[in-house]
Chains A and B, each alone.
Chain A
Amino acid sequence: DQQVKQNSPSLSVQEGRISILNCDYTNSMFDYFLWYKKYPAEGPTFLISISSIKDKNEDGRFTVFLNKSAKHLSLHIVPSQPGDSAVYFCAASASGNQFYFGTGTSLTVIP
């Protein structure tokens, strides 16, 4: 049972434009969310997090938005750069419990 879903397996964006990666979850108890970036044959690298007391968190070019009523979060990257090309995973947890990962979205930023 996939509690965290990323329905777009891939996304292509022109360099300089905005990339929007989406993530949906089913468990209303989730209260902490993470985004990871992963290059092939490497471990995931932590990008940005958000807790359920916020609806937005920003770090440089990366912004995560959380819509609790829709059980939806999104990662915005602006401006997108070719080095951003990677697989992006969202992950969610309920306090004190394990993280559940989405299936990933492969982002390609076209120069």
Chain B
Amino acid sequence: DTEVTQTPKHLVMGMTNKKSLKCEQHMGHRAMYWYKQKAKKPPELMFVYSYEKLSINESVPSRFSPECPNSSLLNLHLHALQPEDSALYLCASSQFMTDTQYFGPGTRLTVL
């Protein structure tokens, strides 16, 4: 089983809203990732958690706040987003940070 699940599938939010994206994996992977992908562009790494600790933060604005409550779950809390933050947000996991990453289906976020 190489499944990474993400909820919701689609999200529309206003610039003053607070929302959260959720990601879950049950493969026993110890590394989890958030990526942002705009149309026709490669995925851009946002955050990496390794053993539930934030390992990499790619200079992401503070309106994006990641959280790793346990080894299976990864959240991305959103607050005061801008329309240019509209994108596909992808979660991925891997056994360890150096290993092949398995991606979830993504959350299509639209900020109005």
What is A's interface to B at a CB cutoff of 8 Å?
32, 34, 36, 41-46, 49, 89, 93, 95-99, 101-104
- CB neighbours of B103 from chain A (8 A): 36, 43-46
What is B's interface to A at a CB cutoff of 8 Å?
2, 4, 6, 40-43, 45, 48, 56, 88, 90-92, 97-98, 100-106, 108
Q: Which of B43, B97, B106 contacts A101 (CB 8 A)?
A: B43
Cβ-defined contact, B106 with A98, below 8 A = no
Residue of B nearest to A101 (CB): B42
Cβ-defined contact, A93 with B105, below 8 A = no
A89 to B101, CA, bound (A): 13
A-B contact pairs, 29 of them (CB 8 A): A34-B100, A41-B108, A42-B105, A43-B4, A43-B90, A43-B91, A43-B103, A43-B104, A45-B103, A46-B2, A46-B102, A49-B100, A89-B42, A89-B43, A93-B98, A95-B98, A96-B97, A96-B98, A97-B98, A98-B45, A98-B48, A98-B56, A98-B97, A99-B45, A102-B42, A103-B41, A103-B42, A104-B40, A104-B41
The count of A-to-B residue pairs whose CB atoms sit within 8 angstroms is 50
CB distance from B24 to the nearest CB of A (A): 13
- CB neighbours of A97 from chain B (8 A): 97-98
